[in-house]
Amino acid sequence: MKDIEVHATAIISKRTKIEEGCRVGPHCRTEGKVELLNNVTMDSNVIIRGPARIGKGSYIGPNSIIGFPPEKSLKKMIHGGAPEEEIAQVIIGENVLLRSNDVIYSGVKIGNNVRFGHNVMIRENVQVGEDSLVGTDTIVDGGVAIGRRVSIQTGVYICTNSVVEDSVFLGPRCVFTNDKYPMQKRTDLKGPTIKRDASIGANATILPGVIIGEGAVVGSGSVVTSSVKQRIVVAGVPAKKLKDVPPDWHSLLRE
């Protein structure tokens, strides 16, 4: 193949397809069916487990893992192997930037132009829309839908069964929860829903099933125990309405 560089220490599966302009660094490994489209860079010590497709121009930082299996598949692998057809494909879009030590589980779909910080973990069956930012030390548990142009700052935790719509801002260290009775009573786990253009301040905590309305603003350090109407500002413990969102406020993520 033309203009492809694969380091001598890399271990590449026979089922891996590598297109023009790709760079595979030292001690990288691919397993199963993997597609590296044009101009993909795998930095050192990267592992990609198929089925996986990495879009044009994407960069996978050092020590990152793509296609980490969910628990059930991992147990099968330990005891003799899980059929590849049982594992959902990872799809990473074009011009995606993953920095060092990121872990992306199987079944994840990442849109074009998404940027990741360091030490990010995205669990199985998560979708991240195009042009979004996922900050350093963020954890996104399984079954989460994240929209386009979302800005997730450092250290955010998004729990299972949450929804984050387009152009949402999540401040540093904010936390989503989905269990009303912290392991004291059986209940359906239902995470928060954050509607488009809403902003959540640093260190805020959003309780299970809470809906944050379109364009609403949650103050830093707040504990949100009940749903918030659209375009109001809330703050406190528990969070209460302070005022309506001023007419000249809008999500800068739409610009």
Each residue of 87-139: pLDDT tens digit?
Answer: 899 999 999 999 999 999 999 999 999 999 999 999 999 999 999 999 999 99
3-state secondary structure of 76: helix
Q: How far apart are the first and last CA of the chain?
A: 41
Q: Does this chain's domain 1-111 share its CATH topology with 126-255?
A: yes
pLDDT surpassing 80 at residue 155:
yes
How far is Cα 68 from Cα 130, in angstroms, rounded to an integer?
22
Average per-residue pLDDT for the chain: 94
The tokens for 34 are 């993997």
Domain boundaries, the chain: 1-111, 126-255
Model confidence at 79, pLDDT cuts 50, 70, 90, reads low
How far is Cα 134 from Cα 149, in angstroms, rounded to an integer?
10
Spatial CB neighbours of 246, under 8 Å, sequence gap ≥ 6: none
pLDDT surpassing 60 at residue 64:
yes
CATH 3.40.1380.20 fits 1-111, yes or no: no
How far is Cα 255 from Cα 252, in angstroms, rounded to an integer?
5
Give the residue-averaged pLDDT of 145-169: 98
Neighbour-count burial of 113, counting CB atoms closer than 10 A to its CB (0-12 exposed, 13-18 middle, 19+ buried): buried
The CATH fold assigned to 126-255 is UDP N-Acetylglucosamine Acyltransferase; domain 1 (2.160.10)
State percent of the chain over pLDDT 90.
87
Dihedral (Cα; 185, 186, 188, 194), 10-degree rounding: 20
CB 19 within 8 A of CB 2: no
Beta strand pairing call for 232-235 and 240-244: antiparallel
Dihedral (Cα; 201, 205, 207, 208), 10-degree rounding: 90
